[in-house]
Amino acid sequence: MNASPHDDIAGLAARRAALRMLDAVLRRGEPLDQSAPPILRAIERGDDRALATAIAQEALRWLADLDALIDGATRQALPDDAKARSVLRIMLAQALRLGLPPHAVIATGLPLLAGGPRRLAHGVFSAVLKTGQGLPAAPMLPEPVAARWRAAWPGRIEAIAAGLAEPPPLDLTLRDGARTEEWAERLGGQALMPGHVRLARAGAVEAIEGFAEGAWWVQDLAASVPARLLGAGAGRRVLDLCAAPGGKTMQLAAAGWKVTALDKSARRLERLAANLRRVGLEADVEIVAADAMQWRPEEIYDAVLLDAPCSATGTCRRHPDVLLRQPDFAGLEELQRNLLERAAGALRPGGTLVYAVCALEPAEGERQAEWVRALRPAPIRADELPGGLAPTDEGWFRADPGMLAGAGGIDGFFAARWVKAA
């Protein structure tokens, strides 16, 4: 294949990768975290990989608003799948969200339309900037999402949308929670609760102090709550259903539990095993590759943690593309109920079950908890949650991206806890 005359333009590889990621999400329906790795592997410079990811994420985060600007500057609407529209999306995302100079955006954007409507793209981009139009304070939610959340959270939807405006900070869970203040000081971060340090995003995770020695792992603050609700293990046995990629498994092992980590994805379990080796907790974990709906445990457990498959809409701060997909809600809800039954059956009398989902849909969280009748509720206490958050009146944990706004926000999450009658 002959080289393009534009191949030597500095920064073009990052923009081309961002365009390919946008295409994978919008045209092929792939999750960004699935499509990005093979695309980014072709880029040599780490800074360019980070830039490509940031461009794609911001274009997806503000997609409806960027499209409104594009449509307002064109006499004839561009088709949704037109390459020129996608190139304009990433050009405007760079200028309006990442603060890159317009001349650099033009120099690395227009070559992506070689043989196409470059003059049109240049004109639309320049027209938007010339009018001084910017993006709103909060991104416009896709209408199906907005309709669901207006019904579910009528008093929260504006705050939730505002919580999606910025990429989230980097949250770390510490292997040794007793060293929280020490690590917060060493890393220049903020301790939001014992065993947790929050950092402003800065560079590659692997380059952060403590990574090589396994002192911590990346895990959103909300995602760290369910395992905390089981407390110290003291050598007792816990079943971590749907365990990969392993954040909760590592929490449980670090808290003294003997963990059976089960997941049906062999690829994700390989990542879990690598994470366990890095943090030095593999000796306390038995990894089982199996479908939770088919697997028959050989013993019953002192506790079960079920972080169930879900729509993952609560992760939209860091995965904005999740709001552009239409999940099979009915199928997910049926699977969640079946898994809850399986989890309760694996629990010894007097044992504790925690159910969690990273979804903002009540049907996947609150309605599932209401359905559980065979176990006794064990209400969550305020002192088990990050400062600034409180249990619901029912004793459940519910977080959304509009909470903890002054501290950098939090993912959407739900968790409930029960005890099996002795």
- The residues with which 301 forms a beta bridge, in sequence order, are 347
- Per residue in 180-223, pLDDT (tens digit) is 999 999 999 999 999 999 999 767 899 999 999 999 999 999 99
Angle at 399 between CA 97 and CA 144, to 5 degrees: 60
Q: Are 16 and 112 contacting, i.e. CB atoms less than 8 angstroms apart?
A: yes
pLDDT at residue 4 greater than cutoff 70: no
- Per residue in 221-275, pLDDT (tens digit) is 999 999 999 999 999 999 999 999 899 999 999 999 999 999 999 999 999 999 9
pLDDT recorded at residue 98: 96
pLDDT band at 422 (very low <50, low <70, confident <90, very high): confident
DSSP string, 379-413: PPPGGGS-TT----TTS-EEE-TTTTGGGT----E
Which token pair is 400? Answer: 């959304």
Cβ neighbours for 79, distance < 8 A, ≥ 6 positions apart: 85
**For the residues 48-76, what does the mean pLDDT come to?**
95
pLDDT at residue 2 greater than cutoff 50: no
pLDDT band at 7 (very low <50, low <70, confident <90, very high): low
Nearest CA to 11 out of 112, 125, 92, 120 is that of 112
CA 69/CA 303 separation, integer angstroms: 52
Q: Are 273 and 250 contacting, i.e. CB atoms less than 8 angstroms apart?
A: no
- Per residue in 354-397, pLDDT (tens digit) is 999 999 999 999 999 999 999 999 999 999 999 999 999 999 99
CA 104/CA 88 separation, integer angstroms: 14
For residue 310, indicate whether it is catalytic: no
Task: State the catalytic residue, choosing from 242, 310, 316, 358.
Answer: 358
- Per residue in 389-399, pLDDT (tens digit) is 999 999 999 99
> What's the start-to-end Cα distance of the chain, in Å?
71
- The residues with which 409 forms a beta bridge, in sequence order, are none
**For the residues 16-39, what does the mean pLDDT come to?**
95
CA 356/CA 312 separation, integer angstroms: 11
Q: To the nearest whole number, what is the mean pLDDT of the chain?
A: 94
pLDDT at residue 336 greater than cutoff 50: yes
Which residue type occupies 181?
Answer: E
Which residue type occupies 404?
Answer: L
- Count of positions (residues) in the chain: 422
pLDDT at residue 79 greater than cutoff 90: no
Which token pair is 259? Answer: 């963990």
Task: Classify burial at 236, counting beta carbons within 10 Å of its beta carbon; exposed 0-12, middle 13-18, buried 19 or more.
Answer: middle
CA 357/CA 351 separation, integer angstroms: 20
How far, in Å, are 55, 126, 271, 272 from residue 267 at the CA level?
28, 46, 7, 9
pLDDT at residue 133 greater than cutoff 90: no
- Per residue in 147-188, pLDDT (tens digit) is 999 999 999 999 999 999 999 999 999 999 999 999 999 999
The region that residue 237 occupies, defined by phi over 0 for left and psi between -120 and 50 for alpha, beta otherwise, is beta
pLDDT recorded at residue 8: 58
Calculated CA dihedral for residues 349, 342, 289, 233, nearest 10 degrees: -30
Helix (H) or strand (E) holding 40: helix 32-40
- The residues with which 347 forms a beta bridge, in sequence order, are 301
